[in-house]
Amino acid sequence: MSLIPSFFGSRRTNIFDPFSLDVWDPFKDFPFPSSSLTTQSPETSAFVNTRIDWKETPEAHVFKADLPGLKKEEVKVEIEDDRVLQISGERNMEKEDKNDTWHRVERSSGKFMRRFRLPENVKMDQVKASMENGVLTVTVPKEEVKKPDVKPIEISG
Which CATH number goes with the domain that contains 72?
Answer: 2.60.40.790
Range of the domain at 68: 52-93+109-141
Residue 40 lies in a domain: no
> What's the confidence (pLDDT) of residue 43?
52
Q: pLDDT under 70 in the chain at which residues? A: 1-49
> What's the confidence (pLDDT) of residue 54?
93
Residue 71 lies in a domain: yes
Tally of domains in the chain: 1
Residue 101 lies in a domain: no
> What's the confidence (pLDDT) of residue 36?
41
Residue 133 lies in a domain: yes
> What's the confidence (pLDDT) of residue 29?
61
> What's the confidence (pLDDT) of residue 31?
59
Residue 43 lies in a domain: no
> What's the confidence (pLDDT) of residue 17?
53
The DSSP line for 122-152 is B-GGG-EEEEETTEEEEEEEBPPPPPPP---
> What's the confidence (pLDDT) of residue 148?
77
Q: What angle is formed at CA 83 by the lines to CA 78 and CA 88, rounded to 5 degrees?
A: 25
Residue 56 lies in a domain: yes
Residue 57 lies in a domain: yes
Closest CA to 73 of 97, 92, 60, 55: 92
Residue 155 lies in a domain: no
